[in-house]
């Protein structure tokens, strides 16, 4: 039971930390970076803070007037899948727990933006690039989802590779043929 509670404590701490940090930074950005779409340089042109309300998904993917509801449903489905991954994760598998916690925390952070009454979309404000070559504006939740997804892909790939190697190793162990029934030749 102890390991199960430490698993839950780690997972929910990560989810909570991401949701709180994302919420606090979005709250700050929505008040401090007004008017929207006006870049404020932090480190020259490379790092800027620019308030954007994104009605679509990551990288500004927009699916028309129903984007908000489509992404709410997709997020709910993703959270169910991640919940099943969490349940199937052993307590000692820290990297997998961290990865799932990051993705869940980021997904919940952006979901809260979409569900907020009167929402104009997800609040994005981190603006990286050089000149006109810019990465799409993003937020803390996006960083958590991206980092967690990459980490989860690596963890799952590593688990699959280890399982494949174990299967190959067990298949290559020579089987000792059984001698079968022996006959007494009387010699």
DSSP code, position 35:
S
Q: For strand 133-134 and strand 40-43, is the pairing parallel, antiparallel, or unpaired?
A: unpaired
Q: Which helix H or strand E contains 25, and what residues bound it?
A: helix 2-32
Distance of CA 64 to the CA centre of its chain: 25
Cβ-contact 73, 89 below 8 angstroms: no
DSSP 8-state symbol, 138: B
45 counts as catalytic:
no
> In sequence order, which residues have a C-beta less than 8 Å from that of residue 82 and are 6 or more positions away?
100, 103, 104, 107
**Does residue 142 have an active-site annotation?**
yes
116 three-class SS: coil
The single residue of 45, 124, 132, 167 carrying the catalytic annotation is 124
CA nearest to 52, candidates 134, 151, 121: 121
Q: Are 95 and 155 in contact (CB under 8 A)?
A: yes
3-state class (DSSP) for residue 92: coil
Residue of 132, 142, 167, 184 marked catalytic: 142
Task: Catalogue the active-site residues.
Answer: 124, 142
């Amino acid at each position: 039971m102890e390991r199960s509670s430490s698993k839950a404590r780690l997972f929910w701490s990560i989810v909570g930390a991401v949701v709180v940090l994302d919420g606090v930074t979005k709250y700050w950005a929505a008040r401090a970076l007004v008017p929207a779409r006006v870049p404020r340089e932090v480190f020259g042109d490379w790092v800027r803070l620019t308030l954007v309300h994104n009605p679509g998904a990551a990288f500004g993917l927009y699916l028309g007037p129903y984007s908000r509801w489509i992404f709410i449903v997709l997020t709910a489905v993703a959270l169910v899948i991640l919940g099943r991954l969490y349940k199937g994760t052993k307590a000692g598998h820290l990297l997998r727990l961290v990865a799932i916690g990051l993705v869940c925390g980021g997904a919940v952070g952006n979901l809260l933006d979409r569900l907020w009454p009167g929402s104009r979309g997800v609040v994005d404000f981190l603006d990286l690039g050089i000149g006109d070559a810019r990465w799409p504006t993003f937020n803390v939740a996006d960083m958590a989802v991206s980092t967690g997804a990459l980490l989860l892909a690596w963890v799952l790939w590593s688990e699959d590779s280890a399982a494949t190697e174990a299967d190959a190793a067990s298949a290559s162990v020579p089987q000792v043929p059984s001698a079968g029934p022996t006959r007494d030749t009387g010699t």
